[in-house]
C-alpha cells in the first residue's frame, strides 16, 4: 500500500515504523525537519517538510496515487483539513484522522463527518480509546492487558506470572487437561524481552507475561487460576483530571457499578470545572506526589490507583507512592516507550500506552482481507487479529492438523453462529467463521493472505 502520514510525533513514528517494516510505501509529512531526519535515519520511509493540509505538500508526498492518508499531527484542524484535501483533490480512498477535542465528537454534530461534509473514514480519539481501555482494566484489575474481539465475546488477556503463580513449571498441555471446560488458549509469552509463540510443551516461569485468548465470560475464572484478583474494583483513585481522567470518571458513573471514584487534580480551576461535570465523584485539589493528598484520597482502601496525568514521570512516581501507601493495584499512563521496561521493577501492575492503542486502530484499516479487528502488542512485535474465514481460504474444509499454518501463527478461538469453539486438531473451520489468531510481526502478511478474497470467490 501507498500511505501518507501527516505528523512525525510519537504516534506518527510508531505507525510509520510498523507500516514500513511490512514493506508498505510510506511518506511522512511534518514541519519539523529534525523529527523527519530522525525518522528517515531509523526507518525506510520518505519524508516531506511542510504543512500536512496544503495541497502542494500532499501532492509532493504522492497523494495522487495514495491508498490511505493518516492525519496524526498535534492539531485536530490540520488532520481534518488534510483528509478533506486528500478527498476533494486527490480522491484518496481511505482517510484517517486523530481528533482529540470532544467538541467535534459530540453526537449532535455527528453529520459533520459524513461523506458530503468532512469525509473522514476513520476517526481516532485517543482520549476515548485510552479511557475505554482504562475502564476495561478496572473491571479486571488482575490483567495487564484486556481487549475484546467479536463483539466482546472473545478477550485477549495479558497476565503476569509472579513468583506466587500456582501454575508455574506446568506444561501448557497439562493445563488444558486440568481445566478441560476452560475456553482459553495461551498464544504467546513475553520472556526477557522476547516474544515467544506458545506451544503445548512450553512451561511458564516466574516473570513471564502471558497472552491468552479466551471466552470473555471466563476471564475472571482464568485470572483466579493464575492467582490474580478477579473481582471488580469498587474503589478507584485517579491522579489527573484531564480529558482522560474525566472521561474515565464519567464512564464509571454511567455504568452504575457502585464504584467509589476520587480524582486528584493539581490545577485549582480544572478541579472546580470537573467537579461541576461529575455527580458522584469526589475531586481533590492537590498533587498526587504528596503522601498527605494520597492518604486523603483513601489510597489505603483503594482497589486501584490509576495515574492519568500528561507527565509520564509523575504517573510512574505517583503509582509507586500509591502502592507504598496501600493501594492494591496500580496502573499508569505512559506516552513514551522509554520507561516501559522500568514498570515491573517499580512494582507498578500495569501501564496504558496511548500510542499502542492508536496504532492498533489504524492497523485495522490497513490490513487487507476480511480483517475485523486488530490489536498490536509489544510495540508491534505481534498482533492479535480477528478475521472472517472465506470459502476460498486454505483454512476451511479440513481439520486444523492438516492446515499448513505459517510459522509464528497460533489460532486462539473461533466464533461460529454465536457459539465459541476452541481450536483442536480435529476442528474444521467453516466459511463465515470468525477466527481470532495471534501472529508475530513476520507472519502478519501471511495471515492476511489466509483471509483475502481470491478470484474464485466471485
Sequential DSSP letters for 360-392: HHHHHHHS-SSEEEEEEETTTTEEEEEEEPPTT
Average pLDDT across the chain, whole number:
89
* 106: enclosing H helix or E strand: none
Taking residues 292-311, report their average pLDDT. 92
Q: Quickly state the pLDDT bin for 430 (edges 50, 70, 90).
A: very high
Q: Burial level of 155, CB count in 10 A (0-12/13-18/19+)? A: buried
Taking residues 138-143, report their average pLDDT. 83
Which pLDDT tens digit goes with each residue over 110-127?
667 666 666 888 888 888
What local confidence, expressed as pLDDT, does residue 141 receive?
81
Which pLDDT tens digit goes with each residue over 180-207?
888 999 999 999 889 999 988 889 999 8
| Weakest mean pLDDT among 115-119, 146-150, 175-179, 212-216 | 115-119
What local confidence, expressed as pLDDT, does residue 133 receive?
87
Listed ranges 211-220, 344-353, 388-397; the one with the highest mean pLDDT? 211-220
What local confidence, expressed as pLDDT, does residue 26 receive?
96
What local confidence, expressed as pLDDT, does residue 116 receive?
64
Neighbours of 192 (CB within 10 A): 8
What local confidence, expressed as pLDDT, does residue 58 receive?
97
Domains in the chain, ordered, with CATH? 2-124 (3.40.50.720), 130-225 (3.30.70.1450), 235-352 (3.40.50.720), 357-457 (3.30.70.1450)
Taking residues 287-314, report their average pLDDT. 93
* Residue 419 to residue 440: CA distance in whole angstroms: 27
Taking residues 19-30, report their average pLDDT. 92
Q: Quickly state the pLDDT bin for 245 (edges 50, 70, 90).
A: very high
Q: Quickly state the pLDDT bin for 170 (edges 50, 70, 90).
A: confident
What local confidence, expressed as pLDDT, does residue 256 receive?
77
Q: Quickly state the pLDDT bin for 359 (edges 50, 70, 90).
A: confident
More confident residue, 115 or 49: 49
Record the cell numbers describing residue 312, joined without a space. Answer: 509520564
* Residue 144 to residue 451: CA distance in whole angstroms: 30
- The answer to whether the Cα torsion of 442, 447, 448, 454 is positive or negative is positive
Which pLDDT tens digit goes with each residue over 369-418?
688 889 988 878 899 999 999 888 888 889 999 988 899 999 999 999 88
Residue % of the chain over a pLDDT of 70? 95
More confident residue, 162 or 414: 414
Cβ neighbours of residue 316 under 8 Å, at least 6 residues apart? 307, 332, 334, 339, 342, 343, 346, 348
Q: Taking 50 as the threshold, does the pLDDT of residue 295 lie above it?
A: yes
**CB distance 213 to 188 below 8 Å:** no
* Residue 241 to residue 246: CA distance in whole angstroms: 5
Q: Quickly state the pLDDT bin for 455 (edges 50, 70, 90).
A: very low
Q: What is the DSSP secondary-structure string of 58-78?
A: HHHTTGGG-SEEEE-SS-HHH
Neighbours of 86 (CB within 10 A): 29
What local confidence, expressed as pLDDT, does residue 457 receive?
42
What local confidence, expressed as pLDDT, does residue 44 receive?
94
What local confidence, expressed as pLDDT, does residue 458 receive?
38
What local confidence, expressed as pLDDT, does residue 21 receive?
85
What local confidence, expressed as pLDDT, does residue 327 receive?
92
Listed ranges 13-17, 269-273, 347-351, 360-364; the one with the highest mean pLDDT? 269-273
Taking residues 296-313, report their average pLDDT. 92
3-state secondary structure at position 447? helix
Listed ranges 283-297, 325-339, 368-382; the one with the highest mean pLDDT? 283-297
Amino acid at each position: 500500500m501507498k500511505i501518507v502520514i501527516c505528523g512525525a510525533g510519537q504516534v506518527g513514528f510508531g505507525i510509520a515504523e510498523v507500516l514500513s517494516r511490512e514493506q508498505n510505501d510510506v511518506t511522512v509529512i511534518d514541519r519539523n525537519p529534525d523529527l523527519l531526519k530522525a525518522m528517515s535515519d531509523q526507518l525506510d520511509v520518505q519524508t516531506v517538510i511542510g504543512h500536512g493540509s496544503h495541497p502542494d505538500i500532499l501532492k509532493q508526498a504522492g497523494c495522487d496515487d495514495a491508498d490511505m492518508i493518516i492525519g496524526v499531527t498535534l492539531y485536530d484542524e490540520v488532520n481534518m483539513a488534510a483528509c478533506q484535501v486528500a478527498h476533494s483533490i486527490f480522491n484518496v480512498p481511505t482517510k484517517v484522522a486523530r481528533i482529540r477535542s470532544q467538541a467535534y465528537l459530540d453526537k449532535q454534530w455527528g453529520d459533520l463527518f459524513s461523506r458530503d461534509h468532512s469525509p473522514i473514514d476513520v476517526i481516532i480519539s485517543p482520549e476515548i480509546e485510552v479511557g475505554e481501555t482504562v475502564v476495561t482494566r478496572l473491571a479486571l484489575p488482575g490483567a495487564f492487558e484486556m481487549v475484546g474481539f467479536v463483539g466482546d465475546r472473545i478477550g485477549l488477556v495479558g497476565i503476569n506470572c509472579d513468583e506466587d503463580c500456582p501454575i508455574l513449571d506446568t506444561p501448557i498441555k497439562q493445563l488444558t487437561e486440568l481445566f478441560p471446560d476452560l475456553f482459553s488458549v495461551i498464544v504467546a509469552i513475553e520472556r526477557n524481552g522476547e516474544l515467544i509463540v506458545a506451544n503445548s510443551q512450553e512451561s511458564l516461569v516466574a516473570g513471564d507475561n502471558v497472552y491468552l485468548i479466551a471466552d470473555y465470560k471466563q476471564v475472571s475464572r482464568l485470572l483466579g487460576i493464575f492467582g490474580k484478583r478477579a473481582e471488580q474494583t469498587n474503589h478507584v483513585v485517579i491522579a489527573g483530571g484531564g480529558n482522560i481522567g474525566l472521561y474515565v470518571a464519567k464512564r464509571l458513573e454511567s455504568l452504575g457499578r457502585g464504584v467509589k471514584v476520587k480524582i486528584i487534580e493539581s490545577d485549582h480551576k480544572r478541579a472546580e470545572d470537573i467537579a461541576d461535570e461529575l455527580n458522584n465523584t469526589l475531586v481533590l485539589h492537590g498533587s498526587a506526589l504528596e503522601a498527605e493528598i494520597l492518604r486523603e484520597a483513601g489510597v489505603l482502601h483503594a482497589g486501584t490507583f490509576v495515574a492519568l496525568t500528561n507527565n509520564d514521570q509523575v504517573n510512574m512516581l505517583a503509582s509507586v507512592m500509591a502502592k507504598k501507601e496501600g493501594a492494591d493495584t496500580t496502573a499508569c499512563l505512559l506516552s513514551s516507550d522509554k520507561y516501559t521496561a522500568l514498570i515491573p521493577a517499580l512494582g507498578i501492575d500495569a501501564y496504558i500506552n496511548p500510542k499502542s492503542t492508536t496504532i492498533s486502530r489504524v492497523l485495522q484499516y490497513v490490513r487487507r482481507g476480511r480483517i475485523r479487528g486488530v490489536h498490536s502488542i509489544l510495540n508491534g512485535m505481534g498482533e492479535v487479529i480477528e478475521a472472517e474465514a472465506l470459502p476460498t481460504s486454505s483454512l476451511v474444509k479440513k481439520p486444523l492438523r492438516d492446515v499448513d499454518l505459517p510459522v509464528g501463527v497460533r489460532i486462539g478461538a473461533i466464533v461460529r453462529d454465536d457459539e465459541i469453539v476452541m481450536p483442536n486438531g480435529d476442528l474444521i473451520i467453516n466459511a463465515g467463521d470468525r477466527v481470532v489468531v495471534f501472529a508475530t510481526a513476520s507472519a502478519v502478511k501471511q495471515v492476511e493472505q489466509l483471509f483475502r478474497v481470491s478470484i474464485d470467490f466471485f
